Amino acid sequence: MAIRKIRYIGDEILKKKCKPVKNMTPSIETLIEDMFDTMYEANGVGLAAPQVGILRRVCVVDVRDEEPIVLINPEILETSGEQTDDEGCLSVPGKVAEVTRPNYVKVSSLDMDMNPVIYEGEGLRARAILHEMDHLDGILYGERASEPYRDLEEEEEWEEE
Ligand code: ZN
């Protein structure tokens, strides 16, 4: 168990496409454990491997009110609906921007034994799954946002006034 260093926007690794996981190895198992630790430490709802500098198709998602999931070589099978809300990213600290995404997603993945599995998500869980999967293709949410990044703190202060 270890907290890994999160890579921030401007780091070239966040723009790269990740390679599939071919076999479950001790190093991939450790990576996944560390990704959960790092996500919880940073109070995030998801984390993708490139955010800790590893170019493999692995993400973790935990929106807290549903079971945590590990996505290995995930593929989108189906999406439906639409949701528009502020989104943030552990690699873009202190910022938010409004992003429209599907409200529902169904994805195929592999589990920790490299067996096929299917996950579904709605609302925040769908948003988190799609956001993390974008990271695997080098896409930050700002590219899908309808506006530039806004400062989260300024907005909170503004809401208090
Ligand atoms: Zn992110």
pTM of the predicted model as reported, rounded to 2 decimal places: 0.93
One pLDDT digit (tens) per residue for the chain, 161 residues: 799 999 999 999 999 999 999 999 999 999 999 999 999 999 999 999 999 999 999 999 999 989 999 999 999 999 999 999 999 999 999 999 999 999 999 999 999 999 999 999 999 999 999 999 999 999 999 999 999 999 987 655 555 54
Residue 121 located in a structural domain: yes
135 is in an annotated binding site: yes
Residue 79 located in a structural domain: yes
Residue 6 located in a structural domain: no
Phi first, then psi: give them for residue 89, nearest 5 degrees.
Answer: -155, 135
48 is in an annotated binding site: no
Phi first, then psi: give them for residue 23, nearest 5 degrees.
Answer: -140, 150
Residue 122 located in a structural domain: yes
CB atoms within 10 A of CB 137: 13
Residue 113 located in a structural domain: yes
**Å from CA of 89 to ligand 1 middle:** 4
pLDDT at residue 105, rounded to an integer: 98
Q: Check which CATH number belongs to the domain holding 120 and give it.
A: 3.90.45.10
**Å from CA of 22 to ligand 1 middle:** 24
pLDDT at residue 153, rounded to an integer: 72
pLDDT at residue 160, rounded to an integer: 52
Residue 152 located in a structural domain: yes
Nearest CA to 74 out of 149, 135, 147, 150 is that of: 135
Residue 131 located in a structural domain: yes
59 is in an annotated binding site: no
Q: What's 62-87 look like in SS3? A: CCCCCCCEEEEEEEEEEEECCEEEEE
Q: Strand 150-151: give its sheet, edge to edge.
A: 83-87, 95-101, 150-151
pLDDT at residue 93, rounded to an integer: 94
Q: Out of 33, 67, 75, 132, pick the active-site residue.
A: 132
Residue 55 located in a structural domain: yes
Residue 26: which domain range?
Answer: 12-160
To the query of whether residue 132 is one of the catalytic residues in this protein, the response is yes
**Å from CA of 59 to ligand 1 middle:** 10
Q: How many domains does the chain have?
A: 1
